[in-house]
Structures are given as structure tokens and as C-alpha cells.
Chain A
Amino acid sequence: MRLLVLLLGCSVLGSQAADPAKILRVTFQAAETGFDPVKVSDYYSGTIIEAIFDPLLTYDYLARPAKLVPNVTESLPAISDGGKTYLLRIRKGLYFADDPVFKGVKRELIARDYAYSIKRFLDPRNRSPYAFLFEGKIAGLDELAAQARKSGRFDYDAVVAGLETPDRHTLRIRLKERDLNFGHVLAFTLVGAVAREAIEAYGDEAASHPVGSGPFRLKRYTRSSKIVLEANPGYRERIWQGKRVPMIGGVEVSIMEETQSRWLAFQKGETDIEYQLSEVAPSFMTEEGGLRPEFARRGIRLDRSVDPEITYLYFNMQERIGGQPNPVGGLGKERIALRRAIAMAYKVDDEIRIIRKGQAIRAHFPIPPGVAGHDARYRSGVPYDPPAANALLERFGYRKGRDGYRGLPNGEPLVIRYSSTPSERDRQFDELMKRSLDSIGVRLEIHKDRFPELIKLENQCRLMMRASAWIADYPDGDNFMQLLYGPNTGQSNNACYQSPEYDRRYEKSRRLPDGAERNRLYREMARLMEAHTVWLLLDSRYRNVLLQPHVQGFTKHPVLHAEWLYIDLTK
């Protein structure tokens, strides 16, 4: 009887709809670009898309490291054929949010919507920044994209062998190669289902008329200023810890570029959650990383986590840059010694203390915390040790001249060219780099250029040295280890590193699921990278989220950003 009462209670609780009076107010520090999932690459647009659209899979909100769970499917995909075939059964009775494009008829979410949505990533007209998620992966899809490039029209009705929909609710994906971690791609925020009729009806305006089946829908939108979401009344009955979600009636997102505006608005109670206040972190945080007592007394809470990202300093590994010899390139011993010495002279702790204002942790492993494959016990084998770095350079023939700077072993001048943007933040990095290289008598030349030009030169392997960052697209180690894979040179392998030993291990790791064997390979790859000193791993930044006392249920997920689904407001 008690069980019956409990179940009834749960049922009543579970059936409660979102409270329209509960409006969560948050901010973005940069403007969105639009809400067409295949056309965006920025965090802000992606967060809104996450709230409006439904990917096939998602992540457990609380599990760390992130754990895949079904979203619109009945279960996790049935993987067969050694990891080449994924079978997904979509739950029946899920619907897109009502929209005039459906002419008053409830529009069910079906397998064909996902096949269509995946195809859109490779339509050349969409010039999707995330096309790489599916390129070279799904049988028949690249061929269709190649045809579209020739004809100028992507044939969405063409049969693609790797995207089958045997019935309304079943999607069978056939991959060209084994990939046991493809589930992460299917859980990626931007791989949510769009309705073909909505995309075609809104055309170029689809980016401002998102029609999804997710927990929220767009209510009001002033570009680059305000995005108002309301709970989707047709959202499926989804229970989280005994309550139907979403619990709040809507989200009001204000674009506030300036830190002072966001900080004052939060303190004044004009916003409920503040995600990005790293510049003023010392104002509300103690040196130990806690919240200052005056804020704690007001009931304000701090949610602190490490972003799933790494920042690193890379060396161009090519022997020559634009026809000229590259002093830091190649795998010769004296070149490795020079790279090692530079890495040993750079004080990462100073970077964290001075530039990051203490809001970062030292990165030792190429895969950051919260991401499958991260090894918390791994320690970098490249210590900060300028005397040892100087001794190393002496040993390999980099002798100091009368001006105090070293030359190459063959007596020619040695100049290291470090590239950065003209931003204030990068100037701080320039100074630290100059100080570091001065400590080992290596002359530094700073090359300044705009960000797009640096990326262009980087893709052409024409930069000698630069600091870079990578944040997880999905919480799997592969997303990070691919950064050093030889064939990715000219794309994501910005060090242009070509190592058969590394590549062999990487290719093997791709065929393995997350587990001990793959982790062993990752450790070997990390040591190899260190032995060749391709990168100097720098840090992973903290994300400090401030919460007003009435915000309940928030916890920062490594890759889900629209935590609004699980949040309640107690005011």
C-alpha cells in the first residue's frame, strides 16, 4: 500500500508541468550566430541549440567522466559488425514543437529526420564547421557530397548505404571503418534532429526559426541581444529525480559582452547564473579557490570545475618552413634538445599565477579531466629547470655568442619565431615567453598577425611556434589524441607532427572502446609526444559558475552546456 502511495505521489509529481513563473536569467559574453545546428561552431549558439533540439543520445547529467545514455532512443545503440554498424531505435510518440510549418498537425520525430540532419553536415552549401564529424565515416555519404560539389545540389532523396531507415523509428548507420566510440558523435549537441519541411520552408531564415523536439523552444529573439526560450509544452514526459523536466518555464539569455556589466548585474540580482567571470575571479574567490565569506553569507554558491580543455605550446615539426630551415623542426637529436630546452625554460606555474590569475590547473596529460581516457596519475616528464635546459643546449652545441644569445650548432644565428595575435592577453604570453627564452640565451622574435591569418599559416605548417587550445567537442580522448595524428596535418594537427610510431598507436586506439587497453596506448602516445617534445602542455582552465541562492540543481557538465533542463528555482 505504501509503495502504491509512493508511486502515485511520484506520478503526480512527475506530471507537473514547467512553472511559467520560473524564468531563469543567464548571460552570454558574446553574441550567438544562429540556431541552425549544422551552420554554427560557437559555444553560445550551440548552447541554445542544445536546449531546442534532441540528439539521438546524450550524457548522464551527474556521471563523471561523462557517460553516454539514450536521449530519444529506447536504449544505447546496438553495435555490431565489430563496431561498423550502429542500430538505433527511436521511441515512438515523440514530437517536434508546434510550428506553423506543420500546419496544425502534430509532427512525430522519426528516424528519417536524423538521416536528413546528418546528411546536412556534408551539404557543401551549408559549409558546416562540424562536417569533420561525419567526413570519411559513413558509407556512401562522402560520395553523395562529392556529387553535390560537382552538380551544385545535394540530393537529400538519394539512397545512402550507411544511413538506412528500415522503418519509421529505426536508424541503421553503417560506418566505413570500425569505430566503437561513434556514440559520442551521435550525442554531440549539434547532431540534433531538424524537420526537413521546416528547413526548406524557412530557407535562409532557418537559423532564426529553430524547430526542434527538445525541452525548450524559441519564444522571442533579438539578435545579438536577447534570446528568450520557453518550456516546450509538447515535450515528452521526462522525469529527473522524481520531477518532470524542465521544471522552469523559460530561460532569458542576455548578451553582455562586458565583464563589469555581468558582474554588477549578478550582484544586483538581475541574473541568476553567471558562467564567465574569470577576469574578476579574485573579487569573489579566496586564494584557495573557495567563495569569499561575504558572498557565501548572501547564499550565493560557487560551482567550480575544470573545463574539458587543454592549452599547449606547439613546435612546428617540419624540417623546413616555406623553404627555409626550421630550427625547431625534425627529429634529429639536437632539434629535440632545443625543443626540450625551450619547454624546460617555460614556467607554466607563472602563466597560471600571473596570466590566468590562478584560475587554471597544470595540464600533464593530453586528455583533460572529465574526458574518457584522462589519466590523473600521469605526470609530465618535462620539468621546469632552466639550468638543466642551459646544460642541454651546451651539450648539443648551441653556444652563446658575445651578445649572450646562442647560435645553432653549425654556428649560424638561432632565432625562434613565436606567433601570437595582437590582443592584450597574448602580449602577456609574449612577455613570459621572452623572459623564458632569455633565461636560456635563445633569441625570440614575436610574429604578430590576426587570428584568421595565424590559422591559415598554421594549416600550411608555416608557423614555428604558437600557443593553442583545444576544448572537447565530445568527452572522448580520441578528440584530443587526433591532434597529433599525422594525416590530420593541415587540419587539426597544428604541429604538423609525422610519427609512424604515434600514428600506428592512434589507429589502433580508434578501433578500441574506452578501457584499459586504449588508455595504455594513450599513455604511450603521450610519452612519445614528450620524448619528441612536440608540445609543452600548459594548463586547463577552471570554470567558476556563480549561482544565486534560489537556483537549485545546477552542476557543470563537461560537455552539456544547457543545464537549464535540470534546474529549478525556489523563489
Chain B
Amino acid sequence: MTAYVARRLWQFFPTLLGVVLLVFCLFNWVGGDPAYMLAGKISNPEQIENIRRQLGVDQPYAIQLWIFIKQIASGDFGASWSTNERVSDIFVTRLGPSLTVLVPLLVISTLLAMAAAMLVAYVRGSLTDRAIMIGCTVGQSVSILVYILVFQYVLAYQLGWFPVQGWGAGFAENLLRYSALPIIVGVAVSLAPDIRLYRSFFLDEINQDYVRTARAKGLSEHRVMWVHVLRNAAIPIVTNVMIQVPGLLAGAFLIERFFSIPGIGREVILAVERSDFPVIKAVTVYVALATMILNLAADLLYRVLDPRVQLK
């Protein structure tokens, strides 16, 4: 087990190096010269050079890349080029709002999707199964933008159940008042694909021999489904949830923008719009690291969920 973890941790380095090279090349290839963004309406070549010197983009690419690697090693990505705010501060202050929305969203959507998937898998081929699957296919085909626009218009504006947007100073206010609608939107968006995916996991298990044996032993359907099937189907579900987390953190920008949530996703878009490379660098590295760590954690969880799994 220890050897397995050590080997996986060792594999982080080449993966991270690939990510670093990719983001560095992409930024320098398509990112544009940030000095011209920061120079204002009227600037002369001397000012442009002064800005480039201060940002360090006048250095040869090899040196800039080396600085990038040193920043990853030290965990200090410097300050935002456009706001001068420390990148570490950006993450510390934006992570809370993102998690306030994403953690409940993920928990609720996973539980609901699992329950619904188990139900439709159990009644496979029935009218209920077909109706839910058709609904899921339609739901999955609709863009998240449509969900946001419709839910915000109907639930917040027309019915007045929620504020249209906003973010307060206290955790309880943010969770119960401002996050409620974004969570509902997020759950609605993720339910359809999750139900379809989890249904296939449950179907794989329901057809296994051990299920037939359990039934032959006279176990109740309730116990067969909730204990035997669920436990085995949970393994790919855990993987799916774990893989989703880092992507959701940076990818929930539409929800954060429409509901004015000061989270990571919104910050990423701002950084891209402003060619703010320190922030882009940090986000990319952190998301890559989070993906690798959560993948490892998912593998370790397999062993907890199913002692038969051997990690080699």
C-alpha cells in the first residue's frame, strides 16, 4: 500500500511538468502581450518596456519557465498583474464562496442521482424507467445557460422565492439565502447525466451472480439493493464524484457570474479576460494537483469500500 502511494505520488511530477509546459506555451502563444493591456490608453515604447521588465516578460522563455517552476515549488505565485493582489490571497478568499455552493451541490446531486438511478435500474424497462431516461436525455441536451436563465427568471424574479443574485458577509446567510438557487440550478444540471451514468453502474451490479445468490438466500429486496448492490455500485460513483470536484471548482464560472458569487471560477474568467498570467498559472497548477490527489484518494477509497480490491 505504501509503495503504491509513493509510486503514484512520484508520477505526479511528470504529469505536472506536462501541465506546466502546456500552459506556459499556450499563454505565450495565444495570450497576448500583457504590457499593452496594462499600459492604458496612451503609452510610449519606454513605458511598455518598463511594464514588461516589471512583469518579467522581457526575460528569455527559458528563464520565465524556470521562474514558473520555482513558483510551484515555493507555492508563491506572486501578485496578480492587474490588481496587485497576492495570488495566494485570491485563492484563500475565493475558495470559501466556491465551496459554499459546490459542497452542498455535489452532496445533494450525488444522493438524488444515486437514489433515482437505483430506482430506475430496479424497474428497468418499465414505463417509469423509460420516462425518466427520456427526461434525462432531454435534460442533458439543454445548455447550463438555459437552466440558469430560466431558473433565475422564474424562481427568483417571477416567484420571488430567492434573491436574483448576491453574496453577503456571513456563512449562514450565504448558504441559506444566496446559495440556494445556484445549488438548485447546479443540481438540476447534473442530475440528468448523473442518473444515466449511475443507472448503468447499478445495472452492471444487478445482473451479477452475487445478487441472484442473495435473492436465493431469501434476503429482502430492500437489503439486496441498499446493501449489496449499492456498495458495489458505489465504487465507480465515488470515482466519478472525485473526478468532478476540481473541474467544478474552476468550471462553475457561469453559475458564479450569473449569481454574483465571488468564487474561483469567476476569478479564472477575470484572469483570462485580463491576461493575468500569475492567476492563470496558479489555477492550472492547483486544478492539476487537485485532480491527481483526488484520483489517488478515489483509488484508496476503493479499498475501503471493497476489501477485495488490491492496490499494487
Point out residues on A near B: beta carbons under 8 Å.
31, 33-34, 39, 41, 124-125, 127-132, 149, 204, 207-208, 220, 222-226, 254-258, 260-261, 264-265, 267-268, 270, 449-453, 455-456, 459, 470, 473, 488, 490-492
Contact = CB atoms under 8 A, between A and B. Distances in A.
Contact of A492 (B36, B41, B47): B41
Nearest to B276: A33
Interface in B143-166: 149, 152-153, 156-157, 160, 163-166
Contacts of B38: 127, 129
Contacts of B43: 129, 132, 459, 491
Given A127-B50, A270-B164, A208 B85 contact: yes
A254 B262 contact: no
Interface of B: 30-45, 47-48, 50-51, 54, 79, 82-85, 90, 93, 149, 152-153, 156-157, 160, 163-167, 169, 257-262, 266-267, 270, 275
A301 to B, nearest CB: 21
What are the 10 A-B residue pairs with the smallest beta carbon separation, nearest first?
A129-B40, A225-B262, A452-B32, A450-B32, A132-B42, A452-B36, A41-B40, A455-B36, A265-B164, A264-B157
Residue of B50, B83, B149 ringed by the most chain A CB atoms within 10 A? B83
Contact of A33 (B39, B54, B83, B164): B83
B33 A225 contact: no
Contacts of B45: 459, 490
Contacts of A456: 32-33, 36
Contacts of B83: 33-34, 207, 223
A127 B79 CA distance: 15
B168 to A, nearest CB: 9
B152 A254 contact: no
B36 A224 contact: no
B33 A452 contact: yes
A368 B260 CA distance: 35
A258 B257 contact: yes
Contacts of B165: 254, 256, 261, 265, 270
Contacts of A455: 36-37
B119 to A, nearest CB: 35
Nearest to B149: A260
A326 B268 CA distance: 40
B50 A149 contact: yes
Given A131-B47, A265-B164, A258 B258 contact: yes
A515 to B, nearest CB: 26
A255 B51 contact: no
Contacts of A254: 165-166, 260
A537 to B, nearest CB: 19
Contacts of B167: 222, 225-226
A449 B32 CA distance: 9
Given A255-B260, A260-B152, A268 B160 contact: yes
Contacts of A128: 40
Contacts of A220: 169
Given A127-B51, A254-B165, A264-B153, A204 B82 contact: no
Contacts of A267: 157
A257 B257 contact: yes
B169 to A, nearest CB: 7
A256 B79 CA distance: 24
A255 B169 CA distance: 15
Nearest to B79: A204
Contact of B270 (A31, A450, A492): A31
A270 B164 CA distance: 8
Contacts of A473: 41
Contacts of B257: 257-258
A539 B137 CA distance: 47
A127 B47 contact: yes
A123 to B, nearest CB: 11
Given A270-B164, A452-B33, A127 B42 contact: no
A34 B84 contact: yes
Nearest to A493: B42
Contact of A224 (B31, B47, B153, B267): B267
Contacts of A270: 163-166
Nearest to A482: B42
A224 B169 CA distance: 14
A453 B42 contact: no
Given A34-B85, A265-B165, 16 more contacts: A127-B51, A223-B90, A255-B260, A258-B258, A260-B149, A260-B258, A264-B153, A268-B160, A270-B164, A270-B166, A449-B32, A452-B37, A452-B275, A453-B36, A455-B37, A456-B36
7 contacts: A129-B39, A257-B260, A451-B32, A455-B36, A459-B36, A490-B44, A491-B44
Nearest to B86: A204
Given A127-B54, A224-B266, A261 B152 contact: yes
Contacts of A33: 82-83
B174 to A, nearest CB: 11
A359 B115 CA distance: 52
Nearest to B80: A33
Nearest to A42: B82
Contacts of A223: 83, 85, 90, 93, 262
Given A127-B51, A129-B41, A268-B160, A453 B33 contact: yes
A497 B35 CA distance: 24
A208 B33 CA distance: 26
User: Considering residues B37, B93, B267, which has the most beta carbons from chain A within 10 angstroms of its beta carbon?
Assistant: B37
A224 B261 CA distance: 9
Given A124-B50, A261-B165, A268-B164, A491 B262 contact: no
Contacts of B85: 34, 207-208, 223
A149 B51 CA distance: 12
Nearest to B261: A225
A456 B37 CA distance: 9
B18 to A, nearest CB: 25
Nearest to B254: A258
A360 B14 CA distance: 55
A264 B36 contact: no
Contacts of B54: 125, 127
Contact of B156 (A39, A222, A264): A264
Contacts of B164: 261, 264-265, 268, 270
Contacts of A207: 83-85
Contacts of A490: 44-45
Contacts of B262: 222-226
Nearest to A271: B164
Nearest to A267: B157
B258 A261 contact: yes
A449 B31 CA distance: 10
A490 B50 CA distance: 16
Contact of A204 (B84, B259, B260): B84
A456 B44 CA distance: 11
B16 to A, nearest CB: 27
A452 B39 CA distance: 10
Nearest to B273: A30
Nearest to B46: A149
A144 to B, nearest CB: 15
A498 B142 CA distance: 55
A289 B229 CA distance: 65
Contacts of A257: 257, 260, 266
A490 B47 CA distance: 12
- Residue in B41, B258, B261 whose Cβ sees the most chain A Cβ within 10 Å: B41
Contacts of A449: 32
Contacts of B93: 222-223
Contact of A261 (B33, B90, B260, B270): B260
A264 B267 CA distance: 23
B30 A450 contact: yes
Given A34-B84, A129-B40, A268 B152 contact: no
A159 to B, nearest CB: 24
B292 to A, nearest CB: 28
